[in-house]
Chain A
Amino acid sequence: MTEHLPDNNYLAPELLQKLGDLELIAREVVEGLRVGTHRSPLRGCSTEFAHHRQYAPGDPIRSIDWRVYGRSDRYYTKLYEAETNFDCYLLVDASSSMNYASGKVSKLEYAKFLAASLAHIVLKQRDSVGLSIFDSEVRAHLPPRSTMSIILQIDQLLRGIKPVPRTSIAKQLHDIAIMIKRRSVVVVISDLLSDVDDILAGLDHLRFDGHSVAVLHTLDPYELEFPFQGAWCFEGLELEAPITTQADRIREEYLANFNQYIATLRDGCAGSQVDYMTVNTSLPPNEVLSEFFFKCQAMINGASSGARP
């Protein structure tokens, strides 16, 4: 899966957790990303030409308008409409289930890293980032802005929220969809541990409103592999009744259920033209984001990305 990735030293989630400062974390993640071979997918998501801008170091060579260069002997880069009006909404799930951590980093913390990193990337491109945090309801909603302070706000908001069990995800997505005024890129960071139809209904609503939706399905490695041995009592974080069982013996059934769920979700997302990616919280965030951007690029290069504005 990662054969296309360079052999970079990604920052492990545990190490990022030690950094504490989310802005620093975001910078570190993004810096790590920059040294990679992948370019920002958001640039490629633009649609209409707006105007030229003088070339600045760091701008990609391919965006230089060689015709203008031929006429004026100066380097100008093309700027597109989308880039100038790019709003990115980060929807972070802060429900109880996101607090699960088989290691030191919970899914929620990992989601925080991802959100901050994405915000940092977007803001670095001088675009706007909005944030919504939800669990059983929408706990916080920040309209898009172009300042780095939003990264701090992400941290503060997530710290301030006491997770409560989530009953439905569609309702929150519906609510958020109403709150988003412009067509935006919406990135949902959640474990999506809910009814698949409910999730897809929420995503469909976002798509219906013309948003470009990407799902970072954040899951703990234990949820992916279910490596438990012996007798375990599983106590639900969403107020489910506990189950005591021989974990190694039910692994088959669990994984079958889980794979079924993932497949349904993935197929549903594909059907709704929602970018979907499973995120393993044991992997470095920059690696995940790199993979995410690579996938977006691949989609752009591919046949369809009709949902793009």
Chain B
Amino acid sequence: MTFLHPLILLAGLGISLPILAHLLNRHQVKHTPWAAMQFLNRNVRVRSRQIRLRDLLLLLLRCLALLLLVLALARPAWQGGMANWFPGESRSGVVIGLDASFSMAHGDKDQTRFRRALNQVEVIAENIQQGDPVSLVLLGGENKILTRNMAFDPDRFRELLETAKIVPAGLDLDRVPSQLKELAEDMEASNKEVYFITDIQARDWDQSSTKFQSALTNLRQSAQVFLVPVPGVEANLAITQLDLVSGVLRKGAVGRYQATVRNCGVDPVTNVEVQCRVEGVQIDTKTIPLIAAGASETVSLFVPFHNSGPTRITAEITGDLLPTDNVRRVVAVVRDRVSVLCVDGTDGIAGRLVMAALLARSGGSMDENFQVKSIPWLSLPSEPLDEIDVVILADVPEITEEQAKQLSQYVRQGNGLVWFAGKNIKANVWNERSASGVSPLLPAKLGLPVDASTGNGAGRPLDPVMPDHPVCLPLRSLPEDLFSETRFLTRLDTETPSSSFPILKLAGSGDPILLEHTLGRGHVFMFTTSAGTTWNNMALTPVFPMLMQQIVTYLAGREFEQSQTVGDSLSLAYVEQPDASDAVFDSPSDETITVPVREHRKQFVALLENAREAGFYEARVSVQAPGMPIAVNVDPRESNVASLTTPQLNKNLNSTNIIVAGSEIELASAIEANRTRKSSWRQFMFIGLMLLIAESLFADRLRKQKQTRSQVPVPSDDSDSGGRDD
């Protein structure tokens, strides 16, 4: 027999109280000489023995009642076979962890994995006794606890199950055991059962860590654990990426987006049609003739921008078993034009090279994607920046504090700044005015020019390993020989804070060539090398125009163009302290979420902690303000819906002592076979209370008898008595 609250058994020592009282009572006998002993003889002696017996019976009842109540409160449970004769109920506290990641939506309409999982939940529910504690948690994304320690009621539980919905997020398998353990430990039950119903996605379970295994073993110590797999076929197509790869987000221009479709199944798929929609209107359709098993194919979608302003773009495939990952969304903020101001600190060479790079088009044609203007650095103070989207400072020796403040404010408003080093740079002036403080203008503090060449005097090439940054996208498509032509001889040494991160590095040394950091709603790119050809030959290679155009396009965009993943935080940054204290986010399901504006490092930001839905959110600075769309997509990693095979699962669960029940029949029999512990606290409580009531009634009866006896009249001989009259 085990107890849920063994410490309560200490209260059983309380039975010593009535025993002690009884013994004390016995020892507190008063003695008196007595003359009329003849009236205490016979019946009275018998009566005294009866009273002693009655007292003992009362004592016994009290002790037994107390003992049973203490036992009941300690919540005893019997292991099957130990005391089968003893009455008890096969009751159990049940924790159900239901995988609600979007992979569970895979399958035919009425036979999705989630539907089958719900059927299994109903099987479990059929084996739960009314009133037993039940917790139900949807596992996926942030894990949503639908109920915690609910006294089981079939109707209420059914209603609860109807509210269970799949979340457009993946499953964090490592968190599952701890989540279930927490719920199990929060439950007051002598026998606990934890059910984990999942599609055992291979991508999660194959990579399950030893920490996960030990957490499962640990969970097993808290409760009987049942794993209920609801696997399915692995066939699935998903759009994993949709990115702007070329073109400028300018009214009248055409942007080329690249959609990546992955075949997660084991069979090749033919004729995959990808539709492109702009603001819900289909504008382009491409067909991928064949996608090999496990392979990804890309398709270019051309999007003409007829209007300026934020534009919602989606790429979608159809006819798939898992619809959640068939759509990819992106937002483009289209401008009427993109103006670039190049401030040249050299004798004009850097400015010309930058202009040439930005205006270079394939086939040598010039286009009007960018309006580029180059001015000498001394003319910067008089130049209005209102109409400028991106400012490029090329080897500008110094700036004044006012200019630093002006540029900082300019970037905070959502514009972009590109900074090039050079031999004219006065590092100390730049450091003092724009690289220090809480939120400096430049991403790094400047040092001295250092030699970046290799040992034989040749320039060092760029590291081909680049981060997953939009700026790097075109460089990846360059042939390796062209890419390696770019060589760097000199660079400016820098001291990079944690808020900045390198985008391009030199091969071998890893020294940063291009750094980025965010300032307000804008970004600042910083080249540690020159725009001219004195420190490198970058301007003479195809890398430079591709890089510059991509940087300007990136900078001319807005933060809203960055698509987010479900579960990410959505932010709305302010240039200055807003009038309204709250920002508003409208979810794809038209739910309005109000988020307070907070100050962080002298910047005002409204942060929606967790985007729970996939689709287009709208961020507004206030309820009346126009909305800015933010694309939120599902995590494409969850699209790999292949499940573990039974041998793989058994191998994975080896030594964890977890019961695996695949079918509903298996599950029902597993529950029956393993629920061998009987909970007897209700019986103890009932018997204890009954004994207590019996004892009370008995004692009450004795008390009444005593009262009756105390009212027995004093013997008198009526008129001939000399007894007291009153």
Contact = CB atoms under 8 A, between A and B. Distances in A.
Interface of A: 1-3, 96-100, 107, 191, 193-194, 216, 219-221, 223-225, 228, 230-238, 240, 243-246, 248-259, 261-262, 266, 275-280, 282-283, 287-288, 291-292, 295, 298
B211 interface: no
Contact of B51 (A236, A237, A250): A250
Given A97-B35, A243-B37, A246-B51, 7 more contacts: A2-B725, A235-B33, A248-B706, A252-B709, A253-B43, A258-B36, A278-B721
A257 B43 contact: yes
Nearest to B25: A231
15 contacts: A100-B34, A228-B32, A233-B30, A236-B37, A237-B37, A245-B44, A245-B47, A252-B712, A253-B43, A255-B714, A258-B39, A277-B721, A278-B721, A280-B723, A283-B723
Nearest to B702: A249
B307 interface: no
Contacts of B717: 262, 266, 276-278
B405 to A, nearest CB: 96
Interface of B: 25-26, 28-45, 47-48, 51, 55, 702, 705-706, 708-710, 712, 714-717, 719-725
A91 to B, nearest CB: 18
A231 B722 contact: no
Contacts of B720: 266, 275-278, 295
A246 to B, nearest CB: 5
Contact of A292 (B47, B714, B722): B722
B32 A232 contact: yes
A278 B722 contact: yes
Nearest to A262: B715
B44 A250 contact: yes
A290 to B, nearest CB: 9
A275 B34 CA distance: 27
Nearest to B39: A257
Contacts of A107: 35
A253 to B, nearest CB: 5
A233 B40 contact: no
Contacts of B51: 245-246, 249-250
Given A225-B714, A245-B44, A248-B709, A283 B722 contact: yes
Nearest to A287: B722
A257 B33 CA distance: 19
A99 to B, nearest CB: 8
B713 to A, nearest CB: 8
B708 to A, nearest CB: 7
Nearest to A248: B706
B716 A278 contact: yes
A207 B479 CA distance: 152
A250 B40 contact: yes
A234 B37 contact: yes
A1 B716 contact: yes
B722 A291 contact: yes
A220 B47 CA distance: 24
Most A CB contacts (10 A, CB to CB) among B32, B708, B723 go to B723
A90 B228 CA distance: 106
Nearest to A246: B51
A230 B723 contact: no
Contacts of A251: 709-710, 712
Contacts of B714: 224-225, 255
A96 B36 CA distance: 11
Given A243-B45, A249-B706, A237 B719 contact: no
Contact of B26 (A194, A231, A266, A298): A231
A68 to B, nearest CB: 38
Contacts of A266: 717, 720
A193 B38 contact: yes
Contacts of A276: 717, 720
Contacts of A99: 33, 35
B34 A246 contact: no
A221 B40 CA distance: 16
Contacts of B39: 254, 257-258, 261
A225 B716 CA distance: 10
Contacts of A257: 38-39, 42-44
B715 A258 contact: yes
A245 B48 contact: yes
Most A CB contacts (10 A, CB to CB) among B32, B708, B722 go to B722
B28 A223 contact: no
A220 B719 CA distance: 19
Contacts of B30: 230-233
Most B CB contacts (10 A, CB to CB) among A98, A223, A253 go to A253
A-B interface, 4 closest residue pairs, ranked by CB to CB distance from nearest: A97-B35, A245-B48, A252-B709, A234-B34
Most A CB contacts (10 A, CB to CB) among B25, B716, B719, B720 go to B720
A283 B37 contact: no
B715 A253 contact: no
A89 B141 CA distance: 114
Nearest to B29: A231
A100 B32 CA distance: 9
Contacts of A255: 709, 712, 714-715
B48 A280 contact: no
Contacts of A225: 714
Contacts of B43: 253, 257
B48 A233 contact: no
Contacts of A262: 715, 717
Nearest to A260: B39
B715 A235 contact: no
Contacts of B712: 251-252, 255-256
Given A2-B725, A245-B48, A240 B719 contact: no
A280 B44 contact: no
A237 B33 contact: yes
A234 B721 contact: no
A107 B86 CA distance: 64
B47 A250 contact: yes
Given A249-B706, A251-B709, A233 B44 contact: no
A39 B714 CA distance: 29
B167 to A, nearest CB: 72
A94 B43 CA distance: 28
A234 B32 contact: yes
Nearest to A234: B34
Given A235-B32, A236-B37, A243-B40, A248 B719 contact: no
Nearest to A216: B722
B709 A234 contact: no
A59 to B, nearest CB: 28
Given A243-B45, A248-B709, A254-B44, A237 B34 contact: yes
Contacts of B45: 243
Nearest to B713: A255
A178 to B, nearest CB: 27
A279 B715 CA distance: 11
Nearest to A280: B723
Nearest to B718: A1
A253 B47 contact: yes
Contacts of B47: 245, 249-250, 253
Nearest to A107: B35
Contact of A220 (B35, B40, B44, B721): B35
A191 B32 CA distance: 18
Contacts of A278: 715-717, 720-723
A223 B722 contact: no
B34 A235 contact: yes
Most B CB contacts (10 A, CB to CB) among A98, A236, A250, A291 go to A250
Contacts of A240: 37-38, 41
A237 B35 contact: yes
